[in-house]
């Protein structure tokens, strides 16, 4: 009996494409989510100073008080959420651990969580560990991937326990409007649901779109856990610093989970985090301005190729429809990579049902973006000519 090699999916598929891209010296990465900017120098200086000062011991699982205070100030000033640094903030190993802790704190075996799809793939991975059931709400580029609250309402069952709201979203780059959030909060209150909110891209919003943190809305805070992280905002993906904020009783559970899973986050990273949040914010503005310019370049190139997409309202990427090529997204990404050494992420890696999309990020300097997009165009022409 012959066995077919198992097709790679989800995170495995992404890792195998990344591994192949690494073998091409001229590869251009239009898929991955690492900012191409350097971590600002004052943050690096703070980490160096923390090492020189011999900050080498264990820290409490919830994090250094000075960092929790800086987070509480940031969350108040930018997200308009009041949190008590003593009981309502837990520092985490990046957004990834934060999302895992939130999912574990809220959901149990058999609970249902409504997830607008497509969505950030590692939520799916985290959900698998809880035995909770993901109830997907399909969204599409025609409506800029809006999750209509009326559709959310239709998916509620007696087992529904939570809503997942990632805004700006990865990979769709959709931003949930304040009006929709108000309605979603009303639904959550009516059905006594928890909200898992992800604000990691909150400072990257385009055109006239406005980011609203759901926990800032009346009646939401007591049922919402919110994550954020320094990874994207301060170009610190490898430093691993994130946090969860939420109501004290639930945060006690987040803290207990954090203590059991990994204990306190690296003390050096936490000192760097204090510098990031309390120091000059110009680097963040500079990066946001660069993403705005790059977004324009990417969208103009996609328009010229005749690709359709959800208009990126925030975040650092665009989710574009490639169904007109006749290929599924995994095969499209593989062909573009093998033929032109450009890495785009297949939509099917985010969600098996999203095989008509690819994600491209704005995380390359302008000249590389132009070059990468030109190569995508060449690969696409070849694909179309062969079909
Ligand atoms: C929506 C979203 N949440 C959480 C994370 C995880 O963040 P981190 O890189 O800090 O672990 C990411 C990373 O890409 C993301 O896109």
Q: What is the pLDDT of residue 121?
A: 87
Instruction: Give the three-class secondary structure for 182.
Output: helix
Residue ranges matching CATH 3.90.1150.10 in the chain = 10-38+283-386
Q: What is the pLDDT of residue 86?
A: 98
198 alpha carbon – ligand 1 mean position (Å): 9
In the predicted structure, residue 239 carries a pLDDT above the cut 90 = yes
168 alpha carbon – ligand 1 mean position (Å): 11
Ligand 1: which residues within 6 Å by Cβ? 33, 94-96, 99, 120, 166, 170, 198, 200, 229, 231, 237, 242
Q: What is the residue with the minimal CA distance to atom 5 of ligand 1?
A: 95
Euclidean distance between CA atoms 239 and 124, whole angstroms: 24
Burial string for 78-103 (b: 16+ CB within 10 Å, else e) reads bbebebebeebbbbbbbbbbbbbbbb
Selection from 163, 238, 230 nearest residue 201 by Cα: 230
Question: Which pair of structure tokens corresponds to residue 89?
Answer: 């903030």
Euclidean distance between CA atoms 353 and 379, whole angstroms: 24
In the predicted structure, residue 13 carries a pLDDT above the cut 80 = yes
Euclidean distance between CA atoms 216 and 184, whole angstroms: 13
52 alpha carbon – ligand 1 mean position (Å): 30
Euclidean distance between CA atoms 212 and 165, whole angstroms: 11
Helices (H), the chain: 10-22, 41-52, 65-79, 94-106, 121-130, 149-155, 178-190, 248-261, 267-278, 282-305, 329-340, 366-386
Phi then psi for residue 309, to 5 deg, are -160, 165
158 alpha carbon – ligand 1 mean position (Å): 30
- Model confidence at 4, in pLDDT bands (50, 70, 90)? very low
* CATH class name, domain 41-278: alpha beta
CB-CB contact of 313 with 173 (8 Å): yes
Considering the entire predicted model, what is its pTM? 0.94
User: Which atom of ligand 1 sits closest to the CA of residue 120?
Assistant: 1
C-alpha to C-alpha distances, 62 to 55, 105, 166, 281, nearest whole angstrom: 17, 15, 23, 25
In the predicted structure, residue 198 carries a pLDDT above the cut 90 = yes
- Model confidence at 34, in pLDDT bands (50, 70, 90)? confident
User: Which atom of ligand 1 sits closest to the CA of residue 242?
Assistant: 10
Residue ranges matching CATH 3.40.640.10 in the chain = 41-278
Listed range (32-36, 99-103, 312-316) with the worst mean pLDDT: 32-36
User: Which atom of ligand 1 sits closest to the CA of residue 201?
Assistant: 1
47 alpha carbon – ligand 1 mean position (Å): 22
CA distance from start to end of the chain: 33
- Model confidence at 3, in pLDDT bands (50, 70, 90)? very low
Euclidean distance between CA atoms 195 and 24, whole angstroms: 42
Euclidean distance between CA atoms 170 and 48, whole angstroms: 32
Radius of gyration of the chain (CA): 21
Q: What is the pLDDT of residue 2?
A: 42
Q: What is the pLDDT of residue 31?
A: 85
258 alpha carbon – ligand 1 mean position (Å): 17
In the predicted structure, residue 6 carries a pLDDT above the cut 60 = no
Instruction: Give Cβ neighbours of residue 61 (< 8 Å, ≥ 6 apart).
Output: 90, 255, 258, 259, 263, 264
| Top mutation candidate among 91, 95, 359 for ligand 1, by most atoms within 8 Å of CB | 95
Euclidean distance between CA atoms 315 and 112, whole angstroms: 27
| Top mutation candidate among 229, 314, 350 for ligand 1, by most atoms within 8 Å of CB | 229
The packing angle between helices 121-130 and 94-106, to 10°, is: 40
148 alpha carbon – ligand 1 mean position (Å): 24
Q: Give the mean pLDDT of 270-293.
A: 97
324 alpha carbon – ligand 1 mean position (Å): 30
Instruction: Give the three-class secondary structure for 312.
Output: coil
Yes or no: is domain 10-38+283-386 CATH 3.90.1150.10? yes
Q: What is the pLDDT of residues 242-271, one digit of tens each?
A: 999 999 999 999 999 999 999 999 999 999
Q: What is the pLDDT of residues 136-164, one digit of tens each?
A: 999 999 999 999 999 999 999 999 999 99
Euclidean distance between CA atoms 72 and 65, whole angstroms: 10
Q: What is the pLDDT of residue 1?
A: 41
Question: Which pair of structure tokens corresponds to residue 293?
Answer: 């310019």
| Top mutation candidate among 120, 235, 363 for ligand 1, by most atoms within 8 Å of CB | 120
User: Which atom of ligand 1 sits closest to the CA of residue 99?
Assistant: 4
Q: Give the mean pLDDT of 166-171.
A: 97
232 alpha carbon – ligand 1 mean position (Å): 8
Phi then psi for residue 97, to 5 deg, are -65, -35
261 alpha carbon – ligand 1 mean position (Å): 18
CB-CB contact of 148 with 183 (8 Å): no
Q: What is the residue with the minimal CA distance to atom 16 of ligand 1?
A: 170
- DSSP at 368: H
Selection from 382, 371, 345 nearest residue 360 by Cα: 345
Q: What is the residue with the minimal CA distance to atom 1 of ligand 1?
A: 170
The neighbour count for residue 306, using CB atoms within 10 Å, is 8
354 or 170: which leads in pLDDT? 170
């Amino acid at each position: 009996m012959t066995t077919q090699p198992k097709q790679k999916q989800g995170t495995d598929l992404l890792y195998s494409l990344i591994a192949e891209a690494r073998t091409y010296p001229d590869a251009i990465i239009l898929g991955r989510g690492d900012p191409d900017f350097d971590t600002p120098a004052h943050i690096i200086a703070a980490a160096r100073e923390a090492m020189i000062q011999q900050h080498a011991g264990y820290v409490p699982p919830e994090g250094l008080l000075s960092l929790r205070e800086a987070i509480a100030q940031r969350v108040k000033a930018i997200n308009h959420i009041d949190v008590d640094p003593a009981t309502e903030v837990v520092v985490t190993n990046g957004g990834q651990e934060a999302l895992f802790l939130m999912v574990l704190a809220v959901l149990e075996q058999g609970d249902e969580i409504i997830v607008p799809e497509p969505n950030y793939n590692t939520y799916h991975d985290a959900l698998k560990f809880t035995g909770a059931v993901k109830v997907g709400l399909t969204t599409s580029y025609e409506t800029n991937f809006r999750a209509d609250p009326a559709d959310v309402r239709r998916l509620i069952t007696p087992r529904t326990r939570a809503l997942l709201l990632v805004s700006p979203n990865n990979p769709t780059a959709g931003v949930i409007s304040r009006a929709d959030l108000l309605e979603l909060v009303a639904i959550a209150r009516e059905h006594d649901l928890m909200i898992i909110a992800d604000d990691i891209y909150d400072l990257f919003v385009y055109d006239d779109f406005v980011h609203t943190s759901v926990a800032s809305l009346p009646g939401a805070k007591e049922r919402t856990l919110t994550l954020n992280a320094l990874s994207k905002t301060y170009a610190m993906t490898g430093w691993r610093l994130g946090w969860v904020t939420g109501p004290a009783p639930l945060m006690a559970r987040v803290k207990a989970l954090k203590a059991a899973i990994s204990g306190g986050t690296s003390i050096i990273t936490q000192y760097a985090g204090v510098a990031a949040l309390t120091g000059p914010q110009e680097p963040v503005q500079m990066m946001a301005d660069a993403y705005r310019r790059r977004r324009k370049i990417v969208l103009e190139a996609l328009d010229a190729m005749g690709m359709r997409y959800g208009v990126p309202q925030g975040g650092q990427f665009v989710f574009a429809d490639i169904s007109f090529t006749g290929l599924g997204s995994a095969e499209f990404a593989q062909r573009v990579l093998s033929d032109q050494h450009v890495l785009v992420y297949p939509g099917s890696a985010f969600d098996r049902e999203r095989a008509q999309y690819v994600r491209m990020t704005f995380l390359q300097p302008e000249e590389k973006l132009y070059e990468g997009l030109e190569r995508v165009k060449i690969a696409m022409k070849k694909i179309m000519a062969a079909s």
